[in-house]
Structure 1
Amino acid sequence: MVNKNLELATVGGGCFWCTEAVFREVKGVEKVVSGYSGGSVPGHPTYREVCSGLTGHAEVVQITFNPKVISYKAILSIFMTTHDPTTLNRQGADRGTQYRSVIFYHDEEQKQVAESVVKDMATYYDDPIVTEVAPLDVFYEAEDYHQDYYENNQTQSYCSFVITPKLAKFRQKHADKLKGY
């Protein structure tokens, strides 16, 4: 259950391991949970089913944050600058609808902020932004072994070659948003 003083943001920007690792370091973020959303198949999907591309779900993270410390707009700005929102159904070598760039909003206010951030970010990129902005229907928590993946598997090759460099760029670009600063 979310504390009445905390809010939720749900975003997908490719592999949820990467997105989770970034947001675990953001000041004001209380919790980050990897999961799935946006699919059309009933029931709780498994990682294997989502990876097939047949369920319609995206790999997402659900971020619990304190809006007195970091705004929803700031969360989305970090999100939009820590993945490539201009590639349709792809992030790096990961391909498929499960890796799409998406913001699932929780209410009308979040929808307006998300649309505004996507529009504002258009000047930041050379190619058109393809980030989907859609209402959150259901969030399904991913299997336990996906939670805190980077934290628990830093020496694994995907973590070393993909997530570690992404975190280095994030830390440089958003140093003022890091926990401990």
Structure 2
Amino acid sequence: MKKYLFLILLISCTAFSQKKTAKANPNLESITLGGGCYWCIEAIFENLEGVKTVVSGFSGGTTKNPSYEEVCTGKTGHAEVVKITYEKSKTNLDEILKVFFTVHDPTTLNRQGADVGTQYRSAIFYSNESQRKTALEIINELNKNKVYNNPIVTKVEPFKNFYEAEEYHQDYYEYNQNKPYCRLVIQPKLEKFEKVFKDRLKKK
């Protein structure tokens, strides 16, 4: 409970402002995050106000156009990730990362629960200096305030590539809610998110 209260406090003190960059739509920005199985992270961010799209895929490795089976071997160097595109007028990177650090364990190296391997590592793939700075500031703040019992091991790395996962991985929770993994692993994370960020849920 301590870490959730601290994250809420951080959010309430954060102004929703980010420097605009020259893009086709300056109100849109993307960040790529790895926090264990992408089915979990995707289901959560699809419910956050201000998030426009969430795409499951692979990032951080060397194998081009990897399949899910190849990534599962742990030999491609890729992590399971989600590419999140959000509207900066409705949310910002601070909030995105505070949700991220609430719904997965950033202190376990190459592991989230029963999912073990480098493909399940905790990682933030930044696209610009502003994203890198924000990520490091939040990690330092969480470590300084001892929000977790152990140090955060999340890797903060420059974005190099993103390969979209196969179609059946997209919106996985939405179409498979009754499957054991969804009920036992994803649903508890989703409930935690809905409790902590209840005022930031996307209106349906």
TM-score by length of 2: 0.86
Q: Does 1:87 align with 2:108?
A: yes
Whole-Å separation in 2 of the counterparts to 1:164 and 1:66: 26
State the distance in 2 between where 1:2 and 1:149 align.
30
Deviation of 1:2 (Å): 6.9
Question: For residue 105 of structure 1, what is the aligned residue in structure 2?
Answer: 126
Which residue identity is paired with 2:76? T
1:99: Cα distance to partner? 0.2
Q: 1:81 to 1:90 in 2, by over 3 A?
A: same
Q: Render the CA deviation track for 1:57-110: whole Å, top value 9, x for unaligned.
A: 000000010011101111011101110000000000000000000000010110
What secondary structure sits across from 1:36 in the alignment? strand
**Which secondary structure state, in structure 2, belongs to the residue aligned with residue 159 of structure 1?**
helix
The whole-number CA distance in structure 1 between the counterparts of 2:152 and 2:127 is 21
Q: 2-side partners of 1:23 and 1:100: how far apart?
A: 18
CA-atom RMSD, angstroms? 1.4
Gap runs ≥5 in structure 2: 1-22
Q: 1:160 aligns with which of 183, 197, 200?
A: 183
- Find the counterpart in structure 2 of residue 38 from structure 1: 60
Distance 1:136 1:179 in 2: 27
Deviates more, 1:2-11 or 1:83-92: 2-11
- Whether 1:179 aligns to 2:179 is no
Residue identity matched to 2:67? T
1:27 alignment partner, one of 36, 49, 68: 49
- The yes-or-no answer on 1:120 pairing with 2:125 is no
CA distance, structure 2, for counterparts of residue 100 and residue 54 of structure 1: 13
What's the CA shift for 1:4?
3.2
Stretches of structure 1 lacking an aligned partner (at least 5 in a row): none
Runs of 4+ in 1 over 4 A off after TM superposition: none
Corresponding residue for residue 90 of structure 2: 69
User: How far, CA to CA, are the matches of 1:144 and 1:50 in structure 2?
Assistant: 16
Percent of aligned pairs with the same amino acid: 55
Residue 17 of structure 1 corresponds to 39
Partners of 2:50 and 2:90 in 1: CA distance: 5
Measure the CA separation in 2 of the matches of 1:156 and 1:63.
Answer: 25
What's the offset of the Cα at 1:124? 1.2
Structure index of larger Rg? 2
Cα-to-partner distance string for 1:115-139 (whole Å, 9 max, x where unaligned):
1111112221110100000000011
Aligned residues: 180
Q: Is the 8 A contact 1:89 1:96 kept in 2?
A: yes
Q: Partner of 1:98: helix, strand, or coil?
A: helix
1:9 Cα shift? 1.1
List per-residue Cα deviations over 1:2-40 (Å, max 9, x = no partner). Answer: 733211011000000000000000000010000000002
Give the aligned residue type for 1:160: R
